[in-house]
Amino acid sequence: MIVENISCGRDDVLQETTDLVDRGYRLMNMFADEGGGQWMNILLRRRDRVVRLSYMPGEQAVPLSDDIPAAMPYERLVAEMSGIAFTDGGREPLVYRRSGDGYPLQKGPYDGSTAVPVPIPPNRSVGDDVFEIPVGPVHAGIIEPGHFRFSVAGETVIELNPWLGYTHRGVERLMEGHLPSDRIHLIGRVSGDTCVSNSVAYSEIAESGSKVPHRARVLRTVLLEMERLYNHIGSIAGICTDTAFTVASSMGNGMLEKVLRSNRELTGHRFLMDHVVPGGIRRDIGDDTLRRLDDFLIGLKFEVEELYDLMDNPGLVDRMETTGTLSQERALMIGAVGPVARASGIRSDVREEAPYETYGELGFVVQVRDPGDVLSRTMVRFGEITESISMIHQCIQSIQPGEVRVRPVVDDGFHCSVVEAPRGELVHSAIVKNGRIWRYSIRDPSFPNWFGMCHAVPGNVVPDFPLINKSFNLSYSGNDL
pLDDT digits (tens, 9 = 90+) for 463-479: 999 999 999 999 999 99
In this structure, the answer to whether residues 155 and 206 fall within a common structural domain is no
Domain limits for position 55: 2-117
Total domains in the fold of the chain: 3
Domain limit, last residue, from 429, 445, 461: 445
In this structure, the answer to whether residues 73 and 104 fall within a common structural domain is yes
Window from 136-140, 164-168, 205-209, 358-362 with minimum mean pLDDT = 136-140
In this structure, the answer to whether residues 301 and 354 fall within a common structural domain is yes
Domain presence at residue 255: yes
Which residues lie across from 32 on neighbouring strands?
40
**Cα 369–370–373 angle (5° rounding)?**
105
pLDDT for the residue 113: 66
In this structure, the answer to whether residues 156 and 262 fall within a common structural domain is no
Query: What CATH number corresponds to the domain at position 55?
Result: 3.30.460.80
In this structure, the answer to whether residues 13 and 148 fall within a common structural domain is no
In this structure, the answer to whether residues 301 and 276 fall within a common structural domain is yes
Cα 162 vs. chain centroid, distance in angstroms?
Answer: 17
Domain presence at residue 460: no
Burial of 295 (0-12, 13-18, 19+ CB in 10 A): exposed
Task: Return the closest-CA partner of residue 99 out of 171, 33, 165, 177.
Answer: 165
Domain presence at residue 281: yes
Residue 57 CA to residue 85 CA, distance in Å, equals 9
In this structure, the answer to whether residues 78 and 199 fall within a common structural domain is no
pLDDT band per the 50, 70, 90 thresholds, residue 99: low
Task: Return the closest-CA partner of residue 285 out of 396, 366, 367.
Answer: 396
Domain presence at residue 457: no
pLDDT tens, position by position, 443-456: 999 999 999 999 99
The predicted model scores a pTM of 0.95
In this structure, the answer to whether residues 80 and 201 fall within a common structural domain is no
Residue 394 CA to residue 398 CA, distance in Å, equals 6
pLDDT for the residue 429: 97
pLDDT tens, position by position, 380-438: 999 999 999 999 999 999 999 999 999 999 999 999 999 999 999 999 999 999 999 99
In this structure, the answer to whether residues 402 and 329 fall within a common structural domain is yes
Domain presence at residue 125: no
In this structure, the answer to whether residues 176 and 299 fall within a common structural domain is yes
Q: Give yes or no for residue 260 having a pLDDT over 80.
A: yes
- SS3 (DSSP) at 226: helix
Query: What CATH number corresponds to the domain at position 217?
Result: 1.10.645.10
Domain presence at residue 313: yes
Burial of 109 (0-12, 13-18, 19+ CB in 10 A): exposed
In this structure, the answer to whether residues 151 and 295 fall within a common structural domain is no
Domain presence at residue 219: yes
DSSP code at position 62: P
In this structure, the answer to whether residues 374 and 234 fall within a common structural domain is yes
Residue 451 CA to residue 473 CA, distance in Å, equals 13
Q: What are phi and psi of 49, to 5 degrees?
A: -115, 130
Percent of the chain whose predicted confidence (pLDDT) is above 70: 98
